Amino acid sequence: MGLLTDPTNDENTKKTFIVKYHSKICILMVFCSVTWLCFLAHDNFSAGTYFSENALLPGLVQGDYSEESEAQALYAEIQDEAQKYPYSIPDEWIRDKFQELYLEAYIQNFTLNNPLKEKLKFVGSNVYGILRAPRSASLEALVLSVPYRSPSSVYPSTLPGLALMFSLAKFFRRQKYWAKDIIFLVTEHEQLGVQAWLDAYHGTMSGMKGVLEYGLLEEHSGSIQAALNLEVHSPRISHIDVKLAGLNGQVPNLDLVNLVHRICSKEGVLNTFFNKDSKRGARFSTWNHKLRTMLEMIGSQATGVPDGNHGLFHRFGIEAVTIEGHSKVGRGGHTFYHMGRVLEGLFRSLNNLLERFHQSYFFYLLPSTDRYISIGYYMPSLALAVSALYLKSFATWLKLHMNDDGKKIKKKSLKAPKNLNIMIVSAIMLSTHAVGAFIMPAGNYLVKKLPWSSEVSLLYSYIAISVISALVLAVVMSKYTRKGNWILLNVVCLNEFATFLLCVSMHNFSFGFVATLIYVLPSLWISAANNRWYKKIVWLFFHPLAVIYFLTLGFTVYTFDELTIKEILLKSIEAMQHLIALNVTDAMVYGNWTFVVINVVILSTWLSFWSLMFASSEERDVGVEKEKAE
């Protein structure tokens, strides 16, 4: 007996619904994604911070630091010595000071060979002193680092932090409860010095071979458990700001962050995150305050560039933060006494650790100093927007088997729409990814051949390679426009880009989310074929170089709002040149993969969608006409 109903009717209805309404559903998903993330800044959708590692809590006891007068005297002495070295670090004087405090003190020299211009070198040195723990065999260590900034530096002075370090070394030397060695590290040239010291300490090379030549260390300690980078700009500070963002978007274990804020609160020192404290007030103003704080963290983390010297410790499994003390104008504020007690409490807590940081969270967002958002809450917001790409891909594939009325095409008419030229699609994807993989090496090669500066040469090289590759793809696609159905190319592009966004967000959520906000909607707008001329123009504005320029332009307008339009445009171009050169250098020296990912994945995906712009689907139309004729 035959069935009274068609069992496939319900399935066809669902497919027809997806094909017909997928565009509106995708836009709704992106909107809900952004709304979800914004809601997370509210207290009802975030959680209060707490300690997962109870071993840190014994450090929350009464401190004994009382070397304020010693720190003041050392600060005056350091200022006099710094004037004798306006452009370099007084490494021998710092080493002698460590030795006067009965520490093992050594100097490490390093050399940076400019990766963009041959025969251009930079030299520097680091100084470190080791306080051996009386209760262990140097199996574990903690690090207190200070970046040395000479009087000619454009950055705020760190000499007060160096004076505080010396006073702490003197105080720590008298204590008998240390179970871990304490390494006092003074570095030159900001993050470059830290990178040289860490590579030498671990016997590895993080960047490209031959770029950073680090000198060998005369003495080592044990496995480093945690590090605190100290940037104090004045003997009297208004507050302590805690910096977290590390290389490639890594952040330290949340327990360490909570510890810094808890110790500061215990000692009565105002502590902030992105110079914002935990605001209490009206619901909307509080939510707005925390939302801005969270967005600032996302923006900083998305760049992949550390916001302090602490950011280079993370790749070695060392939890680290930067403690920055901002200058206080006038009376009041916090003195060396308060800062010393904060650091004493931190090191006494870390001294109690029985094992490496492994509890708490390694992936989180912070809307304030006392609230956090775990990965389980913020990842669905990105997954929701990325799912729109998968939905568009599925609906595009379903169209291959349906006519314009949403009805399934009969078997005898499926030959034309199923004529997918896999070879041409594979060749296009391979060629676009080859451009993305070789644009950076090609640009670095051209820099050494062109007569201009590194910044100008890099920008012109990338523009030239991008224009040539885009023109070649446009010509090739126009030539082979009748060779196959380009639905397959669209499906592959959508699936690849969605998968990339999910993968990169697992390591650096902020970078993945920013890329999602920029590219998901225009990617959904592109059709499988027959894209109109205005779509080509709009898609040009989403070229990675164009996006970088627009972001740089916006930052320039925000920073230099007093300039004229012409001056802003010129200054933004200069800033873009400098930004690209810095990103290329960071990739070769530190192993920063942000710019590499932009070239290898985002640029390649952009070129793949660009090639789709010049495709048409005459064969798809032929199949539909046959179906209608029958």
Which H, E and C letters describe 66-80, residue by residue? CCHHHHHHHHHHHHH
- pLDDT on residue 400: 74
Task: Tell me which H or E stretch contains 365.
Answer: strand 364-368
- DSSP E strand boundaries for 290-345: 319-327
What is the mean predicted confidence (pLDDT) over 604-620? Answer: 79
Decide if pLDDT at 484 tops 80.
no
- pLDDT on residue 13: 76
Give the dihedral sign, CA 166/170/173/175.
negative
Count of residues for the chain?
Answer: 630
> CA 291 to CA 289: how far, in whole Å?
6
What is the mean predicted confidence (pLDDT) over 45-67? Answer: 84
What is the mean predicted confidence (pLDDT) over 304-315? Answer: 94
Of 291-300, 426-435, 522-531, the least confident: 522-531
- pLDDT on residue 626: 43
Of 225-234, 279-288, 299-308, 375-384, the least confident: 279-288
Q: How confident is the model at residue 350 (pLDDT cuts 50, 70, 90)?
A: very high
What is the mean predicted confidence (pLDDT) over 480-507? Answer: 85
Decide if pLDDT at 4 tops 70.
no
> CA 253 to CA 45: how far, in whole Å?
21
What is the mean predicted confidence (pLDDT) over 136-158? Answer: 92
Amino acid of residue 209: K
- Residue 9 CB: number of other CB atoms within 10 A? 8
- pLDDT on residue 25: 94
Question: Helix H segments across 480-603?
Answer: 487-505, 509-525, 533-540, 544-559, 565-589, 594-597
- pLDDT on residue 99: 95
Task: Tell me which H or E stretch contains 355.
Answer: none
The DSSP call for residue 334 is B
The DSSP call for residue 126 is E
Q: How confident is the model at residue 630 (pLDDT cuts 50, 70, 90)?
A: very low
- pLDDT on residue 453: 86
Decide if pLDDT at 411 tops 90.
no
66: phi then psi, degrees, rounded to nearest 5:
-150, 40
Nearest C-alpha neighbor of 56 from the set 240, 257, 265, 242: 257
Decide if pLDDT at 251 tops 90.
yes
Decide if pLDDT at 370 tops 60.
yes
> CA 168 to CA 163: how far, in whole Å?
9
- pLDDT on residue 619: 45
Average of per-residue pLDDT values in the chain: 88
283: phi then psi, degrees, rounded to nearest 5:
-60, -50
Contact 212, 589 (CB under 8 A): yes
User: Quick one: tokens of 533?
Assistant: 């001329």
Decide if pLDDT at 628 tops 50.
no
> CA 236 to CA 230: how far, in whole Å?
15
Q: How confident is the model at residue 204 (pLDDT cuts 50, 70, 90)?
A: very high
Contact 523, 494 (CB under 8 A): yes
Q: How confident is the model at residue 161 (pLDDT cuts 50, 70, 90)?
A: very high
Tell me the whole-structure pTM to 2 decimals. Answer: 0.90
Between CA 95 and CA 345, with CA 176 as vertex, the angle to 5 degrees is 80
- pLDDT on residue 418: 55
Q: How confident is the model at residue 10 (pLDDT cuts 50, 70, 90)?
A: low
In the block, tokens 């809590």 appear at 57
- DSSP E strand boundaries for 132-180: 140-147
Q: Which residues, at least 6 apart from 416, have a Cβ–Cβ distance to it below 8 Å?
A: 485, 619, 620, 622, 623, 626
Question: Which is higher by pLDDT, 33 or 476?
Answer: 33
295: phi then psi, degrees, rounded to nearest 5:
-65, -35
What is the mean predicted confidence (pLDDT) over 618-629? Answer: 44
Nearest C-alpha neighbor of 459 from the set 586, 577, 583: 577
- Residue 232 CB: number of other CB atoms within 10 A? 27
The DSSP-derived string for 426-493 is HHHHHHHHHHHHHHHHHHHHHHHHSSS-HHHHHHHHHHHHHHHHHHHHHHHHHHTTTSS-THHHHHHH
- pLDDT on residue 402: 66
Q: How far is CA 215 from CA 111, 190, 198, 316, in A?
A: 8, 17, 11, 19
Contact 212, 196 (CB under 8 A): yes
> CA 150 to CA 158: how far, in whole Å?
9
Q: How confident is the model at residue 121 (pLDDT cuts 50, 70, 90)?
A: confident
Task: Tell me which H or E stretch contains 162.
Answer: helix 159-173
Q: Which residues, at least 6 apart from 229, have a Cβ–Cβ distance to it below 8 Å?
A: 145, 146, 147, 308, 309, 310, 320, 321, 322, 323
| Percent over 70 (pLDDT), the chain | 90
Torsion angle defined by CA atoms of residues 163, 169, 175 and 178, in that order, rounded to the nearest 10 degrees: 130
217: phi then psi, degrees, rounded to nearest 5:
-90, 135
Decide if pLDDT at 565 tops 60.
yes
Q: How confident is the model at residue 462 (pLDDT cuts 50, 70, 90)?
A: very high
User: Quick one: tokens of 447?
Assistant: 């820099």
Q: How confident is the model at residue 412 (pLDDT cuts 50, 70, 90)?
A: very low
Decide if pLDDT at 410 tops 60.
no
- pLDDT on residue 107: 96
What is the mean predicted confidence (pLDDT) over 362-370? Answer: 93
> CA 118 to CA 447: how far, in whole Å?
10
